[in-house]
Structure formats: C-alpha cells, structure tokens
Amino acid sequence: MNLTLFGQTLVSGLLQGGIYAQIAMGLMLGLGVLGIINFAHGEFLMIAMYVTLIVFRLDINPYLAIFISFPLLYFLGVILAKYLIIPILDRETMAQFLIMIGLSLVLMNLAMIIFSPNFYTVKAALTGKTLKIGEIIIGANRLLGFAISILVTGALLWMMQKTELGRNIRAVSQNRYAASLVGVNVKAIYQIAFGISLATLGISGPFLTPIYYVSPNIGSFFILFAFAIVIVGGMGNFKGALVASFLIGLADAFGAVLLPGSTGPILPFIFLILTLLFKPKGLFGGSGI
Amino acid sequence: MINKNGIFKLIILITVIAMLGAGLAGCAPKPSGGADENNGDQGEVSNVEPVKIGVLAPLTGGLASIGEQLKNGNELAAKMINENGGIKSLGGAPLELIFLDGEGRQEVAMGEVERAIDQEKVSVVTGSFHSPSAMGATQVAERLKTPYLIQVAGADDITNRGFNYVTRVSVNLFKYGYDAVSYFDWLNKEKDAGIKKIALIFEDADFGQSTAKGSKEAIKDLGFELALDLSYPAASTQNMTPYVSKIKAANVDAVIATSFIADALLLADSIEELGLDAIKLGISGGFADPLFAENIGSKVESWFLADNFNTDIPGIEEVNNKYSETYNSKMGGHAAHAYQSILIIADAIERAASRDRDDINNALKETSITDSSKIIVPYKAIEFDEKGQNIYAEPVVIQYQDGERKTVFPSKFATSEPKF
Amino acid sequence: MIEQTKQNNLIKTLLYILTIILVLAVLKLPSNIVHVLILVFFYAYVSTAWDILGGYAGQMSFGHSLFIGVGAYTSTLLLLRLGITPWIGLFVSGLIALVIGAFMGFLCFRSNITGFYFALVTIVFVEISRYLSLGFEWTGAAKGLYIPYKGNNISNLQFDSKYMYFYVIFAMYIGILILYKAIMKSKSGFYFLAIRENEEAAESIGINTYKYKMLATIISSFLVGVAGSFWAQYITFIDPYTMFDFMLSVQIIFFAVAGGRGTLFGPLVGAALFVPLSEGLRTMMGRIAGINILVYGIILILILRFMPDGIFVWVKDRLKNLSHGR
C-alpha cells in the first residue's frame, strides 16, 4: 500500500464516516429519548431521497428539496410517535423492534409499488466536480455531504445543551416521571424528539441523493452501520457517535482495500463485536442524553 | 363444557382445517400468467393438434419488465411460424406457447415447470432469464426427461452440469469474461492499444465470480498481466472510492468490470471522480442496462460494453420492425434471444417430425443453423456442444458514439471503429 | 370430572383420527398444494425451534437463517464431497449449527449481551457468514451448490414426488412438538420462563442464567440446523444469498410471534395462516412487486400492536370467554 492509496483511503473513509454520522445522529436521538430501536430509520432517509428525486424531476435544484423533506419528515415523525410509537413504549423490546421492522418492510415495499424497483440518480450542481489536494482527490458532492453532517451534529449538540427544548428532552430521557412532575409534557417531548430524529434525515436526503442513487432498499444499506455507530459510540453519547462514525467509515474503507475478496464489510462488524465484548457501554461510555 | 385442554385440541383441529382450506384457496391453479390470458395472439388456429411449448419467464415481480420482453419475443416468433403454416412435418401443427410465471423466484419456477410438464404435457420447455430459477427448472426438466432450451440465463453451471436435456442459445458468463480479454488482445493487435496490465473488479455473486473466472483464464492464455483482482458485495457496497483508489494505485492499462446496475453507476461515478485513466469495459448486467447510459450521461462514451445483442446488427430489420409494430417498443437482447429460441425449437420439431420429448431433444442437440437469414442474434451460427452450449455464442462489444449504441467488435458485426 | 375426562378422550380420539385422515388426504392433493403444505410445516418446525430460544427463554435471535444455512451447507457438502448420506448429514448439520450457536451464545451471554444488543449481534453474524461463504470455492462460492437427482431413494433422502417430503417434514414437526412439550414441563423450561420474565430476579433466586440461556441456544440451533438439511434436500439448490438472509430470519420470527410466542401451537398457527396467505397474495397480486411483503409488514404491525400475545392466545382467550359464558 503506497502513501497515495493510504491517503486516498483515509480521506474516503472519513468522508464516508461523515455520511454515516448524519444517519446515526437521528437514530441516536430516537433511541436515547424514547428508547425505541428504530429499524425503519433508513427508510425515512429513503423517503427524503425520493422527495429529492421528485424535486429534481420537476427541474428544480435538488438541494431545494430540503424545504419539503425537512418539514415532511418532522411531521411524519410527530404523527408516528403519537399513533404508533408512544402506545408501544411500555412493551418489551422484542415487540418494539419487530414493529419497527414491520414498519421498515411497509415503507420499503410501498416505495417499490409507487416508484418501481428501479434505480434513479439525481444530478446536482457539484456532480462530477472534484477537489485535488496533492495526489488525493475528493469528490465535491461528498465533501458537501460531509460538511452538512458536521453541521447537523453540531446543531443537535447545541440544541441539546443550550436550549430549553434540549434541556426538557434530556430531562425526559433521564427520568420521565420526574420530568412530568416538574411540569414537562412528556408526550409532547416524545413527539418533538422523534420528529427531530427523522427531520435530520430530511436534511441529509437532498445532500446524499446526488452521491448515491434512489431505490426502495437504499435505507437498508445504512441501517446496520448506523446501529453499529450508536453502540460503538456509546448509547446517547453524541460526541462519541461522531467519533464512532469516523471509525466505522475508516474500517469500511480500509476493509475494502485490505481484506481479500468481498469480505471488506466484515471489518466494521468485527469492530462492533469487539466493542461489545470489551466495552459493552461503548468506547466512550453511554452518557444518556 | 370443554376444559382448557379441550380448547387446545379444538385449536389444532381448526388450524389443520384452516390450513388445508387456505392451502386450497391460495394455491388453486394460477390464473395469472396462465394460458387463457396470454395465448390469445399466436396466429391462426389450424385443426391439427398443436405442439405445446412451455415458456418460463418472470412475468410478475421485480423482473417483470424483462419477463415482458421475453414473452413478446417468444410470442412474435410463434405467431410468424404459425402464419407460415406451422410445423410442416406434423401436418402443419401450430405451436402453442404455455407461459409459466417464475416470478424470478427459484422455487416458483421449479413448481411451474413441473406443472407444465406433468399437467400441461408440454413437449419442450424454454425461456429463463433469472439464473437460479433456470438452474432449478432445468433440474426438474432433466428429472422428467423434457428438453429445455435456455434463452438468456447466463450461469455457467446451467450447461456445465452435463445434463442431457439442456441446451442454451446465449452467451454464458465464462465466455463473457473470456471474450472481454480477447477484445483487448484484438485492440492491441489491430489498434495498437498497448494494453498489458488488467484489473478486474466484479460484484461477488455468481454473475461476477463467473465472468471473472473467464477473464482470468484469458489473461493467462493471452499473455496479459492480472494486476488486480477485486470483488465487492453489491448488496452492501455504498462507497466505491476505496476500490477505485486501489485500481488507480495499481497503474493498470485496462479495467474489466462486472456489476449490477446500482453498483455500476457508483463505480462509473467513482472512476470519473478519481480520474482513473484506463480503458474500461463493462460486462452485460448493469452496463448493458439502458439505465446505465441514461444515468451517467455523456461519460458513457468512455466505456466499452459487452452484451449479447445490439440493434445495429445487419439483417434483423424485418423482425425489428415487426416487433416495434406489434409491441410499440424496441426489440432488445432478451426479446431477440426469445425469438431465436422459438425458431430453433421449431426447426428441431420440424426435423424430428414428432411430438415426443426424446425425439425433439435429439433433434435439438443436432441443430445446425448457419443460414444468416434465420439468425437474428449476433452469432454466426447455432450449434450445440456436447454439454448443450451454443458453440458460436459470443458477446459483441458496444460503444456509445454520438449518442448511438454502435457495435465495434467482432468485426463481422461491427458498424463502427472503437474510440479510446 | 369423570364425565369431562371421557369427553376429552373422545375429542382426543376423534382428533387423532381426523389428523390421520387429513394427513393421508395429502396424497390426493395436487403437487403445488403439497408444496405449500411442506412450506407450512417447514416454517412451523423452524419457528417452533426458534421459539425455544426466542419465545420461551426470551432471547431475541435474528440469526436463525444462519443455522438453516449452516445445516443446508453441512449436509450438502457431506453428500457432494464425501458421499455421506443426508440421514447422517442431518445430525452432523445439527451438531455444527449447535457449535456455532454455542459460540454465539458464549460471546453474548458471557458479556451479558442481551435484548436488542443480542439481536444486533445475531444479525451481524448472519451478514459475516454470507460474506465468508461467498469466498470459498469449496462451498460453491456465490453460485452455491446443487444436489444432483439420483433417483427415488430413501437412503439418499431423495424422492421423486413431493408427498414423501411432506411426510418427512410432518414427522419432524410432530417430533419437535413432543420435545417442546417436554421442555415446557421440565425444570429447564421453568428456568427459561423465569429468565424471560425477569432475568435479574431469576439470578437472585439462584438460577444460573448463563447456563440456561446457553442450553436454550444450543437446543434451538441444533434443531434448526437439522431443518436446514431437510430444506437443502427438498429444494436441491442452495446459495449464500438465499440461505444467510436477514429476511428469512424475520419470517421465522414472524410466524412464531404472529401465531403466539411461547406457546406449543403458536408457530404452526402463524405458518398455517401466513404461508398460504403470502403464496396466495403473490398469485393474485404478483404483478405488483412487493405487495406481499407490504401486507406482511402491515399484519406484523397490527398483530403486535393489538394482539401482543399472538393469534393463538387471542383466539384461545376469546374461546375461553365464550365457553364460560361471560
């Protein structure tokens, strides 16, 4: 492995990690606050991507889709929380998990029926543009995706730490009974938190679509990595998740380059299993939210 | 008064009955894709008993659009034959196609083929696009001693198992991989391309693994250097840049890729992004899909694409026009192979002068079609080797030039010069 | 009381006779329906086996397609490479699945990985197995393995009609029912339940939870491994993508959960209702790709949302209310 290849793989892994982070952050919020294992998280990204596709097909700049996908996913989140998720919060983990798998199947196949199983791509202003640093080449689309990811993470952190809403969310996630005693509307907080959890995908969708393609099963590509990140980073630890995203992204990229045949994707998974064995609370400890 | 235990028993009873009832209701002979609906337009009905041919295709499910093309090709060929007087040696017996919907699922395909042979009493089975379905279905046909002519399914093992009742018209995967390298050899000799180091990148299912096997053998045979041998899992690869970086670092002259559509798009994007400077050839699958060209735009002109058909092949205008007239769409490789297969079967039945499966199978294996007016696929002849593979099935290499799909290799079918 | 026992015995006898008649009636059914019945009992068997670990001992495994795959591969490789009859292969398959299950259990339960974490590890195991199995020429790599037809031969566990496969899987199902019932009545079964209900409490009354979770895992994985061999023999063609498949795991769980988790007949009820439904949906609405899985998903959500204990328990409760005349 020469230096250029190493550098290129490093950059590619970090960029990929940034993309994983966007998806993991929202997942973490839902998991940390409501305790719901949202297996359908990737499918909500898919919805945002189809929104982007439709906008693009209408000859509008695909990045503008954010003005539709962001509010759409927020409201979807609020409604789902109200009618599907809050009613099952007292049920055992297995039932919750299976319901979310059911939701994932429903959304995926609904998309297949509406949009056909075909693949579609979206071209944005930056498509095909690259940035060159020495021998290392960076796709402009990926770089933008990366920047958005850092922004989303930063915004979430700021919201959780500095705003009234964030304080309430943290209070509910730490002790919902105590929070309700001091006058926090727990149900409302749940709905808002889940809404935000999905709305982050509404931001990601328009920026990820030009890098990938849109298809009904696009969400399932990301979901296992997103879960791995949440666990490696430590449940409820946003900063930990950000670092874990990069680690998983790097494991993914270096796995592809170093491991034989198509065994590359095993590396992130082995990383996950090792973390669970030796640091079951995550590399950086679960902090709650 | 029934106690708790009794209720348990009652439930078993209900279950068993419900099960049988539901089984009966759910699985009664399939109406969809069945005979009545699809066999409407196959030309005049003569008073001679028809020869029944089972045609397996994924008429529903995710592969339905391909199934549709296969169905059209088969139907058109049967119609033309019936209009020209059917099978003359059987007193003008018409061909009757029984369409079998395999849904692109192996177990369904196996069940349908078994039904066609057992209950519909077909003399021959043909069809197949989805390789696993074809693998299973040929196994059924072999067991029930019924000739099976594969139209487009590419898996090597379909014919490599040495079955007695299986033949295949189209190119197999090994050959695709092998001929991709032969093409480079030709480029070196005729066009001074100067290719030495080749990288292979392929998706890690049977499709990619089999073509790669062919390419590796050709690289050895023809004296190239295999610089890289990369595979990736198509279902979970979202980032192709690490692979492309690796190819770039290896400084190769040419790349051969085998991908499905989604990964083909990602690969082409990453190659563009990292500015990989090499001759690129994509094998069938995702690269042959019109979506590939549609989605990557003008960049597609830098790719060579290996496929089993192209519309610029000389001598197919008549069938082509008829097809467009009838189905309002352009004839593609699937439909062309389907059409060709029915011609081959009709030829075999004509020679066998029999409806008997073994007679037809023997005639089928002795097929020798060399008259180019009877061939609409880019093969110079049709003859089967001892395993049932069409000896002359070779891929054509296609390049988009000024927005048109031009055949550039082999010379016999070429309509343009390769540009690189 | 005596009256009741008598009546019970009568019902029992009638049921046995009816079951026998129905089972014999299978011979008169067309082969595509027998195929569905084979699927029903195959899934009922596998779901029951899953239920020992997932429903009874409460450990949510999504890794059971791995055991089916391992079983299918083991017996097929033994047959193809070494010429060993699948009848022996069945047991070796079970044993290899057991070893892998034990390894998985050892990793997870030693480090107290349970619940969602356990589920995730099992999913990851399935993924890893698929990537690994793609790479070995000896296991057929991506193109998989096929079992050549050698003629109707019971010693090869190969038949030219579907009826015999039906009777084999039916017998296997009866076998697992008896075993399941025995486990329910045994001390281990009681400990499994205690672990499911409250692991900490179980530990505090002196149950070695690690030992019993391991026990449930190895029983379950062994039984599923055996079923994998049967599946390979019946379908005669296996490859990594259809064997090590997450959706297959979900289906196994779905039948058990929809029918009734932790009950004797729950998995059969689930499989008997939803296998034909899914087959029927595909036949009726197959032109729309994905519709059958969509309906699956909706049913999964509805059942879990409104019949938390599954259809079997729901119907039983309704019947009980009826017979007690509210």
Confidence class for position B10, pLDDT limits 50, 70, 90: low
For residues A106 and B46, what is the distance between their CA atoms, to the nearest angstrom? 50
| Nearby residues of B247 by Cβ (< 8 Å), 6 or more positions away | B199, B201, B228, B230, B255, B276, B278
Q: How far apart are CA C213 and CA C205, in angstroms?
A: 16
User: What are the boundaries of each domain within chain A?
Assistant: 15-117+135-219
Partner B, chain C 5-44, Cβ-Cβ below 8 Å:
7-8, 11-12, 15, 18-19, 22, 25, 29-33, 35-37, 40
Distance in Å, alpha carbon of C38 to nearest chain A alpha carbon? 25
Give me the total of CB pairs closer than 8 Å, taking one residue from chain A and one from chain B: 87
**Contact assignment for C272 to B18 by CB distance below 8 Å:** yes
| Contact yes or no for A221/A228 (Cβ under 8 A) | no
Of A113, A116, A272, the CB nearest to C124: A272
What are the residue ranges of CATH 3.40.50.2300 in chain B? 39-171+314-389, 174-307+397-413
B143-154 pLDDT, tens digit per residue, is 889 999 999 998
Q: Identify all chain C residues contacting A223, using CB atoms and an 8 Å cutoff.
A: none
SS3 annotation, B194-206 = CCCEEEEEEECCH
Condensed to tens digits (0 to 9), the pLDDT of residues C270-319 reads: 898 888 887 777 666 655 667 777 888 898 889 888 888 888 888 888 88
| Residue-level pLDDT at B273 | 85
Owner of token pair 């139209």: B151
What topology is assigned to B174-307+397-413 in CATH? Rossmann fold (3.40.50)
Partners of residue B262 on adjacent β-strands: none
pLDDT at position B1, please? 39
At residue B360, the pLDDT reads 95
Residues 22-51, chain B: which have Cβ within 8 Å of C?
Answer: 22-27, 29-33
- Residues B287-309 have pLDDT tens digits of 988 778 888 888 899 999 999 88
Tokens of C189: 């079964």
Q: In chain C, whose CA is at the least distance from the CA of A94?
A: C60
Residue of A119, A138, A252 to mutate, interface with B, max B Cβ within 10 Å: A119
Residues B340/B376, Cβ–Cβ less than 8 Å: yes
Contact between A230 and A29 under an 8 Å Cβ cutoff? The reply is: no
For chain C, percent of residues with pLDDT exceeding 70: 95
A266 contacts on C by Cβ (under 8 Å): 127-128, 131-132
- Residue numbers in B near C11 (CB within 8 A): 2, 6, 9-10
Contact between residue A216 and residue A115 where contact means Cβ atoms under 8 Å apart: yes
Rounded percentage of chain B residues whose pLDDT exceeds 90: 47
Q: Tens digit of pLDDT for each residue in C102-136?
A: 999 988 888 777 788 888 889 889 988 888 888 77
pLDDT for B48 beyond 80:
yes
Interface of B with C in 124-143 (CB under 8 A): 132, 135-136, 139, 142-143
d(CA B112, CA B136): 11
pLDDT at A67: 94
For the segment B26-32, the average pLDDT, to the nearest whole number, is 42
Contact (CB<8Å) A121/B295: yes
Domain span including residue C55: 2-324
Residues of C in contact with B119 (CB under 8 A): 30
Which distant-in-sequence residues (6+ apart) come within 8 Å of C150 by Cβ? C156, C158
- Tell me, what's the pLDDT at B45? 52
Question: Which of B99, B105, B59 shows the shortest CA–CA distance to C35?
Answer: B105
A263 vs C: CB within 8 A: yes
Mean predicted confidence (pLDDT) in B116-142: 89
Q: For position B107, what pLDDT does the model report? A: 77
Contact A265/C at CB under 8 A: yes
The pLDDT confidence band at residue B32, using thresholds 50, 70 and 90, is very low
Q: Give B127's strand partners.
A: B56, B150
User: What would the mean pLDDT of C186-204 be, rounded to a whole number?
Assistant: 85
Q: Residue B243: what are its φ and ψ, rounded to 5°?
A: -65, -45
* Model confidence at B115: pLDDT above 50: yes
Please give the Cα distance from C60 to C63 (Å, whole number).
Answer: 9
What's the longest Cα–Cα distance across chain C? 66
Note whether B19 contacts C: Cβ–Cβ < 8 A.
yes
pLDDT digits 0-9 by tens, C1-34: 566 677 777 777 777 777 777 777 777 777 778 8
Residue C300 in contact with partner chain A when CB distance is under 8 A:
yes
pLDDT per residue as tens digits for the range B375-393: 999 998 999 999 999 999 9
pLDDT (tens digit, 0 to 9) for every residue of chain A, 289 residues total?
Answer: 688 888 888 988 998 898 898 899 889 888 888 888 899 999 999 999 999 999 999 989 989 999 999 999 999 999 999 999 998 888 888 888 889 999 999 999 899 888 877 778 888 777 778 888 877 888 888 888 889 888 888 888 898 888 999 888 888 888 888 888 888 888 999 999 999 999 999 998 999 888 888 888 888 888 888 988 988 888 778 888 888 999 999 998 898 888 877 777 888 888 888 888 888 777 877 655 5
Q: What pLDDT does C245 receive?
A: 84
Are B31 and C15 a contacting pair at CB < 8 A?
no
**Predicted local confidence at residue C321, as pLDDT:** 81
CA nearest neighbour of A93 among C118, C68, B358: C118
**Residue C197 and residue B348: Cα distance in Å, rounded?**
69
Neighbours of chain B (3+ CB pairs under 8 A): A, C
Query: Which among B119, B135, B235 has the least Cβ separation from residue C237?
Result: B135
How close, in Å, is residue A68 to chain B by CA atoms?
24
Please report the ipTM that was assigned to this predicted complex.
0.84
> Residue A100: exposed, middle, or buried by beta-carbon count in 10 A (0-12, 13-18, 19+)?
buried
- In angstroms, rounded to a whole number, what is the distance separating the alpha carbons of residues C109 and B116? 52
Number of domains in chain C: 1
Q: What is the pLDDT of residues B148-182, one digit of tens each?
A: 999 999 889 899 888 999 999 999 999 999 999 99
Strand partners, B51: B95
A101 to C289: CB separation less than 8 angstroms, yes or no: no
- The whole-angstrom separation of Cα C248 and Cα C257 is 14
- Share the mean pLDDT of chain C: 84
**DSSP-derived 3-state class of residue B32:** coil
State the fold for domain B39-171+314-389. Rossmann fold (3.40.50)
